[in-house]
Amino acid sequence: MSQHRRRDPRVLKIIRNRLHPLHGQYVDSSTIKQFGPSGLLRKFPHRVGTIAANGRRRINRLGGHAPSFSMSQPLEALVNLPLHQVKQPEFYILVVLDCVAGRLTEHDKDCLGFAQMLANRKGQAGAVLAVIFGESKDTDLTLFGIDRLLHITDDAVQGYQPELCCEYLSQIIAQFNPKHIIFPDSIFAGADLGRRIAAKLALSVATSAWKLVEDELTCRASQGLSDIKSPLTDVILLLEQAYEPTSEYRYETLLLDIPKIAMYKSSLQDDGLVEVDPSQIPLAEAGFIIAGGNGITDWPLFHRTAELLGATKGASRVAVDDGFMARDRQVGATGTWVSAQVYIAVGISGAIQHLQGISRCEKVIAINIDDSCDMIKRADLSVIGDSQAILAELNQLCLQTKKVVDDVA
Ligand SMILES: Cc1cc2nc3c(=O)[nH]c(=O)nc-3n(C[C@H](O)[C@H](O)[C@H](O)COP(=O)(O)OP(=O)(O)OC[C@H]3O[C@@H](n4cnc5c(N)ncnc54)[C@H](O)[C@@H]3O)c2cc1C
Nearest residue (CA) to ligand 1, atom 7:
332
pLDDT (tens digit per residue) in 102-131: 889 888 999 999 999 999 998 899 999 999
Cβ count within 10 A of residue 30 = 8
Task: Give the number of other Cβ atoms within 10 Å of residue 384's Cβ.
Answer: 16
| Residue 360, pLDDT score | 82
From ligand 1's centre to the CA of 351, what distance in Å? 6
For the segment 12-64, what is each residue's pLDDT rounded down to a tens digit?
Answer: 777 777 677 777 676 654 444 455 555 565 555 544 455 554 555 555 443 33
pLDDT at residue 143 is higher than 50 = yes
Contacts of 300 (CB under 8 A, 6+ apart): none
Cβ–ligand 1 contact at 294 (below 6 Å): yes
Q: Find out whether the beta carbon of 329 lies less than 6 Å from any atom of ligand 1.
A: no
Q: Whose CA is nearest to atom 26 of ligand 1?
A: 293
Indicate the pLDDT class of residue 406, thresholds 50, 70 and 90: confident
DSSP-derived letter for residue 407 is H
Here the contacts of 243-246 (C-beta below 8 Å, separation 24 or greater) are: 243/110, 243/111, 243/113, 243/114, 243/117, 244/13, 244/17, 244/110, 244/113, 245/13, 245/106, 245/109, 245/110, 245/112, 245/113, 245/144, 245/145, 246/109, 246/112, 246/113, 246/116, 246/143, 246/144, 246/145
Residue 297, H or E segment = none
| All residues at 6 or more sequence positions from 402 whose CB lies less than 8 Å from its CB, including other chains | 308
Distance from residue 293's CA to the centre of ligand 1 (Å): 6
The answer to whether the CB of 252 is under 6 A from ligand 1 is no
Percent of the chain whose predicted confidence (pLDDT) is above 90: 55
Residue 406 makes CB contacts below 8 A (sequence gap 6+) with none
Please report the pLDDT score of residue 281 as a whole number.
87
Please, which pLDDT band fits residue 278 given cuts at 50, 70 and 90?
confident
The residue whose CA is least distant from atom 51 of ligand 1 is 353
How many angstroms separate the CA atoms of 226 and 199, rounded?
Answer: 24
pLDDT in tens, 301-313: 999 999 999 999 9
pLDDT at 215 over 70: yes
Residue from 325, 368, 372 whose mutation best tests the ligand 1 pocket (most atoms within 8 A of CB): 368
Q: Strand, coil or helix: what is 28?
A: coil
pLDDT of residue 272: 81
- How far apart are alpha carbons 286 and 311 in whole angstroms? 8
Does residue 14's CB lie within 6 angstroms of at least one atom of ligand 1? Answer: no
Domains of the chain: 1-69 (no CATH), 81-255 (3.40.50.620), 278-408 (3.40.50.1220)
Which residue type is seen at 392? A
pLDDT band at 79 (very low <50, low <70, confident <90, very high): low
* Cα 363 to ligand 1 centre (Å): 19
- pLDDT tens, 279-289? 888 898 898 99
Residue 134, phi-psi category: left (phi > 0), alpha (psi -120 to 50), beta (remainder): left
Residue 352 Cα, ligand 1 centroid: separation in angstroms? 9
Q: Can you tell me the distance from the alpha carbon of 128 to that of 96, in angstroms, rounded to the nearest whole number? A: 10
Q: How far is the CA of 283 from the centre of ligand 1 (A)?
A: 18
Work out the angle at residue 123's Cα, subtended by the Cα atoms of residues 118 and 124, and round it to the nearest 5 degrees. 55
Give the Å distance between the CA of 386 and the centre of ligand 1: 16
Residue 158 to residue 84: CA distance in whole angstroms:
32
Give mean pLDDT, residues 176-191.
Answer: 94
Q: Tell me which residue has its CA closest to atom 45 in ligand 1.
A: 295
Q: At what angle do helices 387-408 and 299-309 cross, to 10 degrees?
A: 30
Dihedrals phi, psi of 391, to nearest 5 degrees: -65, -40
Rounded Cα distance between 35 and 287, Å, is 42
**Is 314's C-beta closer than 6 angstroms to any atom of ligand 1?**
no
In this predicted model, which residue has the larger pLDDT, 280 or 169? 169
Nearest residue to 260 via CA among 170, 130, 351, 141: 170
User: d(Cα 115, Cα 106) in Å, to the nearest integer?
Assistant: 14
Burial 182-192 (b: 16+ CB within 10 A, else e): bbbbbebbbbb
This prediction has a pTM of 0.65
Q: At 246, phi and psi to the nearest 5?
A: -75, 150
Give the Cα separation of 324 and 318 in Å (integer): 9
Q: What is the pLDDT of residues 366-376, one digit of tens each?
A: 999 999 999 99
Q: What is the pLDDT of residue 36?
A: 54
Q: Which atom of ligand 1 is nearest to the CA of 367?
A: 43
Distance 68 CA to ligand 1 centre (A): 22
Average model confidence (pLDDT) across the chain: 84
Least confident of 12-26, 210-224, 308-322: 12-26
CB of 334 closer than 6 angstroms to any ligand 1 atom: yes
Where do the H-state alpha helices sit in 68-177? 106-120, 162-176
**Residue 317 Cα to ligand 1 middle (Å):** 7
More confident of the two residues 223 and 333: 333
pLDDT at 78: 52
pLDDT for 57 equals 55
CA distances from 282 to 60, 116, 288 (A): 32, 35, 11
Q: Whose CA is nearest to atom 39 of ligand 1?
A: 295
Check residue 185 and give its pLDDT. Answer: 94
Residue type, 234: D
Residue among 46, 301, 316, 359 to mutate when testing ligand 1 (max atoms within 8 A of CB): 316
DSSP 259: P
Residue 386 CA: nearest ligand 1 atom is: 42
Instruction: Compute, in angstroms, the gap from residue 208 CA to the centroid of ligand 1.
Output: 32
Q: Which of 4-18, 144-158, 191-205 has the lowest mean pLDDT?
A: 4-18
